[in-house]
A and B are shown apart, each in its own frame.
Chain A
């Protein structure tokens, strides 16, 4: 299974942009890059995904390196409600085994 590497924790000030990095040097050509986040005592929720091009949605932006060996989740204005554990995972297009790492715990400082 292709693996991802994320920092254990990050801090951000409220209303400032946050860039959450993810390294995935063994990514295969068919792997999508997915981001999920988990608030305390809740199930994870989908944030965004992409394959090669940068992606934007109402929650966040995903910037993918040209060689696809790394990506960055961008929260444009962090709020206290964005404090969560963010998981970067890889997955192919089929219903395959989907594994999660330990993620990055984001703390947002008022």
Chain B
């Protein structure tokens, strides 16, 4: 089945440590996205990539880094510079449907807790 795989599902980190969240898609989608969600809140865009080897900052990129070396993969690193990294992280990919609209497919998410 095609889809988006995020790993790990749960992750615990000590303060001051970097951690990398994996996102892999086998949907042959061009674009990929990372969002952060805090309890009871909406989704906030961290980074997005429209094409391999290119990515743009979203609304809350500080303290995060990404790479897009392969079409299928868009890993997110949460660095020690991120002041409050405990959150639910969601990865998405998108394609332009027959209508031309950009439709997103999301992964199941990774829940990061900083101890």
Query: CB of B74 within 8 A of chain A?
Result: no
Question: Which size bracket describes the interface of A in this complex?
Answer: 20 to 34
Alpha-carbon distance between A44 and B104 when the two chains are bound, in angstroms: 9
B102, CB-defined interface residue at 8 Å: yes
Cα–Cα distance between A93 and B56 once the two chains are bound (Å):
18
Query: How far, in whole Å, are A95 and B93 apart by their CA atoms in the complex?
Result: 10
A95 touches B103 (CB 8 A): no
| Chain A, residue nearest B95 (CB) | A95
Would A43 and B92 be within 8 Å (CB), given that A87-B42, A100-B35, A102-B41 are in contact? yes
Number of interface residues of B (CB under 8 A): 31
A79 to B101, CA, bound (A): 28
Among A19-27, A45-53, A64-72, the one that faces the other chain is: A45-53
- Chain A interface SS verdict (over half): loop
Q: Which residues of A contact B56 (CB under 8 A)?
A: 97
Within 83-106 of A, Cβ neighbours of B (below 8 Å) are at 85, 87, 91-103
> Which residues of the other chain, B, contact A97 by a CB distance below 8 angstroms?
45, 48, 56, 58
**B99 in the interface (beta carbon within 8 A):** yes
Q: Are A44 and B106 in contact (CB under 8 A)?
A: yes
Task: Answer whether residue B43 sits at the interface, using C-beta atoms and an 8 A cutoff.
Answer: yes
- The answer to whether B101 touches A98 (Cβ under 8 A) is no
Q: Which of B88, B101, B108 contacts A91 (CB 8 A)?
A: B101
Q: Tell whether, in the assembled complex, residue B101 and residue A95 are in contact, meaning their CB atoms are under 8 Å apart.
A: no
Complex CA–CA separation, A5 to B40 (angstroms):
17
| A interface residues, Cβ below 8 angstroms from B | 32, 34, 36, 41-46, 49, 51, 85, 87, 91-103
